[in-house]
Structure 1
Amino acid sequence: MDSPITIRLGSRARRRIAADGLRAADIAIIPAAAGGPKGLILNGIDQWLFGDWLPSAPRERRLIGASIGAWRMAVSALADPVAGHKRLAHHYAHQTYPAKVDAAYVTRTVRGLLDEVLDGHAGEMLAHPHYRVTAITARGTGPLAAAGGVRWREMTGFLLAAAGNAVSRERLAGAMERVLFHDARDPSAWLRERFDAFPPRFATLTEANLRDALLASGSIPFVLQAVHDIAGAPPGAYWDGGLIDYHLHLPYQRDPDLVLYPHFTDHIVPGWLDKSLPWRRARESASDPALENVMLVSPSPSFIARLPNRKLPDRSDFKHYGQDHAARIRDWTYAIGESERMAEALARWVEQPDVKVAGEF
Structure 2
Amino acid sequence: MVNLIPSFELLAGPTAYQHILKNGLEPHQVSTVFGASGAAKWLTIYGLDRAIFESWLPKANKPIHLLGTSIGAWKLAAAGQSNPGWALNELADGYIAQSYEDGITKEIVHRELIAILDRYLQQPQVDDLLTQNRFHYHCGVARCHGALSSDTGWPLVRGMASAFARNLVGRSGLNGQFERVIFSDARAQADVRSLDGIATETQTLSRANLRDAVIASGSIPYVMAAKTAIVDAPSGVYRDGGLIDYHPVPSNFWAEPGLILYPHFYRWLLPGWYDKYLPSRRAKAQALDNVVMVVPTEAYVAQLAAGQIPDRKDFQRFKGNDAERQRRWRLAKDKSESLGAEFLKIAQSGDWTQVLRPL
Range into which the TM-score falls when normalised by the shorter chain:
over 0.9
Aligned to 2:231: 231
SS in 2 for 1:135: strand
Decide whether the 8 Å contact of 1:91 with 1:117 is kept in 2. no
Aligned to 1:183: 185
Whichever residue aligns with residue 209 of structure 2, its letter is N
Whichever residue aligns with residue 237 of structure 1, its letter is V
Shift of 1:357: 4.4
Judged with a 3 Å threshold, the aligned counterparts in structure 2 of structure 1 residues 11 and 353 are, in CA distance, closer, same or farther, namely farther
SS in 2 for 1:166: helix
Aligned to 1:160: 162
Whichever residue aligns with residue 318 of structure 2, its letter is Y
Aligned to 1:267: 268
Which of 314, 333, 338 does residue 311 from structure 2 map onto? 314
Offset from partner CA, 1:29-48 (integer Å, 9 cap, x none): 00000000001112111111
- In structure 2, how many angstroms separate the alpha carbons of the residues matched to 1:291 and 1:348? 26
Decide whether the 8 Å contact of 2:186 with 2:204 is kept in 1. yes
Decide whether the 8 Å contact of 1:99 with 1:322 is kept in 2. no
Shift of 1:306: 0.6
Aligned to 1:216: 216
Task: Tell me the C-alpha RMSD between the 2 structures.
Answer: 1.6
- In structure 1, how many angstroms separate the alpha carbons of the residues matched to 2:312 and 2:102? 15
1:42 aligns with 2:45: yes
Decide whether the 8 Å contact of 1:79 with 1:125 is kept in 2. yes
Whichever residue aligns with residue 59 of structure 1, its letter is K
Shift of 1:253: 8.1
Aligned to 2:94: 91
SS in 2 for 1:322: coil
Aligned to 2:291: 294
1:100 aligns with 2:103: yes
Shift of 1:256: 4.2
Offset from partner CA, 1:54-94 (integer Å, 9 cap, x none): 11222111000001100111111212111001101100111
Shift of 1:160: 1.1
Gaps of 5+ in 1: none
Equivalent residue runs for 1:112-151 within 5 Å: 112-120=115-123, 121-145=125-149, 147=150, 149-151=151-153
1:173 aligns with 2:171: no
- In structure 2, how many angstroms separate the alpha carbons of the residues matched to 1:308 and 1:133? 33
Decide whether the 8 Å contact of 1:245 with 1:272 is kept in 2. yes
SS in 2 for 1:227: coil
Offset from partner CA, 1:278-319 (integer Å, 9 cap, x none): 11111123xxxx411111011111111110121100011111
1:323 aligns with 2:320: yes
- In structure 1, how many angstroms separate the alpha carbons of the residues matched to 2:354 and 2:54? 28
Whichever residue aligns with residue 129 of structure 2, its letter is M
Which of 335, 351, 354 does residue 353 from structure 1 map onto? 351
Offset from partner CA, 1:202-259 (integer Å, 9 cap, x none): 1111121111111111111101111112111121111110010011112388444311
SS in 2 for 1:70: helix
SS in 2 for 1:359: strand
Aligned to 1:339: 336
Aligned to 1:242: 242
SS in 2 for 1:180: strand
- In structure 1, how many angstroms separate the alpha carbons of the residues matched to 2:82 and 2:204? 21
Decide whether the 8 Å contact of 1:14 with 1:355 is kept in 2. no
Identity over aligned pairs, percent: 35
SS in 1 for 2:20: helix
- In structure 2, how many angstroms separate the alpha carbons of the residues matched to 1:22 and 1:163? 41
Which of 18, 21, 25 does residue 18 from structure 1 map onto? 21
- In structure 2, how many angstroms separate the alpha carbons of the residues matched to 1:329 and 1:265? 22
SS in 2 for 1:78: coil
After TM superposition, the score normalised by the length of structure 1 is: 0.93
Aligned to 1:32: 35
SS in 2 for 1:43: helix
Which of 56, 68, 71 does residue 68 from structure 1 map onto? 71
Decide whether the 8 Å contact of 1:253 with 1:291 is kept in 2. no
After TM superposition, the score normalised by the length of structure 2 is: 0.94
